[in-house]
Structure 1
């Protein structure tokens, strides 16, 4: 079965979507799916065993009323050209199902346009909410247009994938029952890890993999560490914190911001900040860490489940979550045997970290629960869905 995969970020880009695609598509191929990928042009080319086509990324400058008019005109032309090119790709490969993977949402918009033209089954995937994303603010005419675009994608979709139940509820609650019936949850996944034994060392290593944002910083972690060290100063020589990828420039919260927090909490001797690494190298860091740290933004009813959390689960290392109560991250960590703490639980987090370092706490992963998130099991769900959809009549 041939699936058109609209994923505008692909390996080797160090972005969550690219990393997910790098895990998912090889397993799809193993399980009988033939992906045909459409992605952004890049200096680093995505190399795979299946066809990959490259498209330009939309770009248009300008400001004010004239700038908005120019952008709208160029955007219309951009999608017109994309549709023409991708329709030809679909014809060449006799595509059975269209699958679009946000972000950016342009991939879902293109997928919906293709569904309308080609009358092929269309699956849209939402790693994060669109209109309901608390990281973003939509207002005025721009907000109205985005709401229309989201509604268009929902209408054209034959199946709508979310990675957790909260996101599904938050996004779909504003749509009619006929739309809600098309939505389902398939979680993020992890794949096989390179063999990497934990090195012998005298220090307990806490690692965080990935970028920070203004809404999601290591402040609670640092506050708790500072409290722990005030109560147990002898632990300062026994712990190290490694923030891998915290200097990533695309997030708007870089190394200087992190180092200012390090200085504020007097942690310069135990915190190390390093540049982003490849996905494969990040897996090695995960397996070698004594404990991994997952941090969510402090939003009530948070709809986010970072794909990195599921990679953490696959590593076998202990995990601590800093996340709102009842968040998808908290639910997953509880499911697989680990603990999470809200932003107000700095004292409890400090006590728990001290217990880990001293060997008084021994979290154990529930392997049968973790297996649910293995890529072979999530792929089996996608394969079943695709086989069902390919027989739809339009």
Structure 2
């Protein structure tokens, strides 16, 4: 049995989408028979997190869980930890200090058992991965988002040409030098990172989409159509970048032009990233109080059951020049066997998935008229009973991704 040391700051307990993606990967490896120990980070903030009632189903087969916490206040102890991180690893950046404590936990684990691989997820775990890769352990990092938030595409960040500091530049070079295999959820994200990740080679990159776990897919789901109105749900955060303004404008036009056609839009677990009341102001601006509803955050399993009661699942992306991301909610929606309405960049992952028959409706994120016409198309399909379509989802299924590990990742 191969042993894996899995270092994922966001994982246990499940406190958001990143943690859920990582928890599913952990569960998949454990279900496939690998021996896994987890090193994770204690939750730093208690606001805006998922209730964690059901998180144990993803971790029940782990050998052990080791929670590493650090004080995030900027004080003399924090400065000292950053200095220790630099002295221990040769790398440092703000908030990298968690890695030096995580390395200490990993070193204690290595005294007790041998590991064949170290997996890392989200920073600063890449410092931990490089440290042990230099000592001969095969290192497999996953990049669910571009490395360094500053290099995210606009409007999230400054793009690939952002000039990083000297320590980060050396770190980027060593990531490419020491990683055994790099995992990406999408081809477009891989291609984006290859533009600036020095020494990272395409032949050492594998595309592994987010996972549909068998255990989660077996939840009893409500399939019948809502008869009184078309019910649409958006699960997850919205805000300054993923702004719903054009979506609400299109809905307003639809309601005005089709007074006899009834629709409802539900925002589930909204985390507003602009101002505290910007969404309320938008809804009032478009006079949609009778259309738009809200549901507070719930556990992940409970969210799947709520989504099951709706006819269409909505995805709103930021107006990037290219849509490089595979949002985790896409797989959550697919797992629920629901049609997906993506308001996304014209050139991007959602357009790719639309051409593959996986995403049902795609509208240009900056074009209100396109969103309106796509909404009309979706409503016509709802009336005619043509919303649900058969989809080839093999690449997201647990068995396919286990085979990917056996043939391309753990080699």
Unaligned stretches of 5+ in structure 1?
389-394
Q: 2:269 aligns with which of 222, 241, 245?
A: 245
The Cα of 1:133 is off from its aligned counterpart by 1.2
The residue correspondences of 1:243-392 to structure 2 (distance < 5 A) are 243-246=267-270, 248=271, 252-253=273-274, 256-337=277-358, 338-358=360-380, 359-360=383-384, 362-367=386-391, 369-388=392-411
The Cα of 1:67 is off from its aligned counterpart by 12
Q: Secondary structure at the match of 1:233?
A: coil
> In the alignment, what sits opposite 2:175?
153
The Cα of 1:154 is off from its aligned counterpart by 2.1
Q: Does the C-alpha gap of structure 1 residues 150 and 361 become closer, same or farther in structure 2, counting only changes over 3 Å?
A: farther
Number of corresponding residues: 376
Q: Does the C-alpha gap of structure 1 residues 371 and 148 become closer, same or farther in structure 2, counting only changes over 3 Å?
A: same
Report the Cα distance in structure 2 between the residues aligned to 1:68 and 1:8, rounded to whole angstroms. Answer: 18
TM-score (norm 1): 0.86
Report the Cα distance in structure 2 between the residues aligned to 1:126 and 1:37, rounded to whole angstroms. Answer: 18
> In the alignment, what sits opposite 2:83?
73
The residue correspondences of 1:44-193 to structure 2 (distance < 5 A) are 48-50=60-62, 51-57=64-70, 59-61=72-74, 72-73=82-83, 75-76=85-86, 78=97, 79-102=99-122, 105-117=123-135, 119-131=136-148, 132-134=151-153, 135-137=156-158, 143-175=165-197, 179-191=201-213, 192-193=216-217
Report the Cα distance in structure 1 between the residues aligned to 2:205 and 2:326, rounded to whole angstroms. Answer: 17
The Cα of 1:354 is off from its aligned counterpart by 2.9
Deviates more, 1:43-52 or 1:25-34: 43-52
CA deviations over 1:149-202 (Å, ceiling 9, x no partner): 232222210111111111111111335676232122111122233112146551
Q: Does the C-alpha gap of structure 1 residues 286 and 379 become closer, same or farther in structure 2, counting only changes over 3 Å?
A: farther
Q: Does 1:195 align with 2:220?
A: yes
> In the alignment, what sits opposite 1:391?
none
The Cα of 1:356 is off from its aligned counterpart by 3.0
TM-score (norm 2): 0.83
The Cα of 1:304 is off from its aligned counterpart by 1.1
Report the Cα distance in structure 1 between the residues aligned to 2:71 and 2:183, rounded to whole angstroms. Answer: 25
The Cα of 1:74 is off from its aligned counterpart by 6.0
Report the Cα distance in structure 1 between the residues aligned to 2:408 and 2:111, rounded to whole angstroms. Answer: 22
The Cα of 1:98 is off from its aligned counterpart by 0.6
The Cα of 1:271 is off from its aligned counterpart by 0.5
Q: Secondary structure at the match of 1:59?
A: coil
The Cα of 1:270 is off from its aligned counterpart by 0.9
Report the Cα distance in structure 2 between the residues aligned to 1:330 and 1:361, rounded to whole angstroms. Answer: 24
CA deviations over 1:320-377 (Å, ceiling 9, x no partner): 100101211221233134121112432232233234334147244343x222211231
> In the alignment, what sits opposite 1:16?
17
Return the structure number with greater relative CO, CA threshold 8 A, min gap 6: 1
Report the Cα distance in structure 1 between the residues aligned to 2:250 and 2:208, rounded to whole angstroms. Answer: 34
Report the Cα distance in structure 1 between the residues aligned to 2:357 and 2:70, rounded to whole angstroms. Answer: 39
Q: Secondary structure at the match of 1:298?
A: coil
Q: Secondary structure at the match of 1:330?
A: helix
Report the Cα distance in structure 1 between the residues aligned to 2:81 and 2:29, rounded to whole angstroms. Answer: 37
Report the Cα distance in structure 1 between the residues aligned to 2:100 and 2:20, rounded to whole angstroms. Answer: 29
Unaligned stretches of 5+ in structure 2?
47-51, 89-96
